[in-house]
Amino acid sequence: MTKVKEILRFSFFILLGHLGQMAFNFSDLFVCSRYSSMASGALSVANGIFALALVAGLGLTIAISSLVSFHRSKSNQNVLPAEYLSTYFLVSALASILLIFLLLLSLFFIDQMNIDPKLIPGILSYLKITANSLLPAILFSCFKEFLQGHEKTFFPNALIIFFNLINFGLNWVLVNGLGPFPEMGVSGAAWATVICRWSMFIFLFLYMHVTFFKKKLTPKYFHFNRELGMELLKMGLPLTGNILLEVGVFSTTTILSSSFGVVSAASHGIVLNLISMAFMFPLSISSAASVKIAYEKGQNNYSEAKKTIYASLFLVTIMASFLSILFIFYPERVVGLLTKDSEVITLGAKILLIAGCFQIADGFQVTTSGLLRGLGETRFPMYFYAINYWLIGLPLGTLLGIYHSGGVKGLWIGLMSAVYLMALTNGPYLYYFFHKAARINGHNVTSPQSPNH
């Protein structure tokens, strides 16, 4: 139980930060849903498209915490030199610039995406504005992951929580119009996001410069270590692929759901936000376990690493079981938290019931992915995502939803099948990879005579 408590403590502020990140979308949707169904539908589709660019950058930065933890352990340094952060910063900045270009380029193809024409003006407006938030969002994540690799999680995650309150207030003022501010609709939600993400990045930058490195960061800030940069790309690019493949499927189903009408688009968007919020619980365990197991790998301590695997899987099963019960037995009440539209509640509850059936499998697959990341393996999980989501889950969902008239519910059944397949492939591969790595390093973790026993 010691390892369980250790991971639980470490993951607490990570969880608050993850929930805070999700709450940005939650507050946008909450305010826009009360503004109009048209605004919430446009916001849902726009967020589905924007998420592809955002998570591509975040996927790259997620590798940073595991790498930092491993290098700290290997070198026996409490704080890594500033050149590590400067290298990660430059790679993240260049990736952000590329992603902004690709996001703006995608706007020229909105008309070809089979989206309800009534939603397109709001979608374009939102994406043009939020493109300005991509750079600070990815750089903030770079700094946050660097601190997380040092097991420093309070300040960046506290910033996220604080600016959630600011974001909600700005949303209410800018979307509806208040005092001297005009009514801006979905564009107001976009501007609130831009203001908050830039503010968060500036505050964290000042913290890194003044407090963490004690003003020693600036002279080396543009120092680039080629070996560290290549290491980040080698580990981070498959992670980007993993997340793009998963989020890409959800974004594709978001676009497909809009072809069934405004109610389907709004229902899908609300449920997607709810399960994304729920996903932050197992994701926090995954993130904490990734850092812990990377440190244990650097110490060549595979007996402790094995305990980390068991403890993290135990915790995620407990969390996911609770969420599953909530979604299966109280779907109308949960959906009703985000909308008062009776049609949206009725359809959304049916979708949430399906989502509740795969919460445990989803928690298991994300945690095993995090453990593999901590062990330095990100390539094969990317292949699993490609096969399970794109070759099986999405075609099945399309078949049921469009060609068998299942509508948006059919799309979600396809997603459920993909999640279960990910759990069934990730689990055995983690077992194989862990024991292979332990044997290579002279450990027999299945035997009482293992060096660390």
pTM recorded for the entire structure: 0.84
Copy the structure tokens of residue 127: 């994406």
Euclidean distance between CA atoms 109 and 39, whole angstroms: 21
Q: Is 445 contained in some domain?
A: no
Euclidean distance between CA atoms 254 and 272, whole angstroms: 9
Q: Is 34 contained in some domain?
A: yes
Euclidean distance between CA atoms 29 and 137, whole angstroms: 19
Q: Is 452 contained in some domain?
A: no
Say how many CA atoms lie within 13 Å of 77 toward its Cβ. 13
Four-point Cα dihedral 225, 229, 230, 234, nearest 10: 160
Euclidean distance between CA atoms 268 and 349, whole angstroms: 10
Predicted confidence at residue 452, as pLDDT, reads 40
Euclidean distance between CA atoms 149 and 145, whole angstroms: 6
Say how many CA atoms lie within 13 Å of 320 toward its Cβ. 26
Q: Is 305 contained in some domain?
A: yes
Going from the first residue of the chain to its last (453 residues), give the mean pLDDT of each consecutive group of 10, the final group possibly shorter.
Answer: 87 86 76 79 81 87 94 85 87 94 89 77 88 94 94 92 91 85 84 94 90 64 85 92 84 82 85 87 94 92 92 95 95 88 90 95 95 93 94 94 85 94 95 89 56 39
Predicted confidence at residue 447, as pLDDT, reads 45
Q: Is 444 contained in some domain?
A: no
Domain that holds residue 373: 2-439
Q: Is 134 contained in some domain?
A: yes
Please check whether residue 290 is in contact with residue 368, taking contact to mean a CB–CB distance below 8 angstroms: no
Euclidean distance between CA atoms 273 and 231, whole angstroms: 33
Q: Is 448 contained in some domain?
A: no
**What 3-state class would DSSP assign to 178?**
strand
Helices (H) and strands (E) in the chain, counts: 16, 0
Total domain count, the chain? 1
Annotate 198-238 with DSSP letters as a single string: HHHHHHHHHHIIIIISTT-SGGGTT---HHHHHHHHHHHHH
Which residue type, as a one-letter code, is found at position 88? Y
Which residue type, as a one-letter code, is found at position 388? N
Q: Is 451 contained in some domain?
A: no
Copy the structure tokens of residue 268: 């899908």
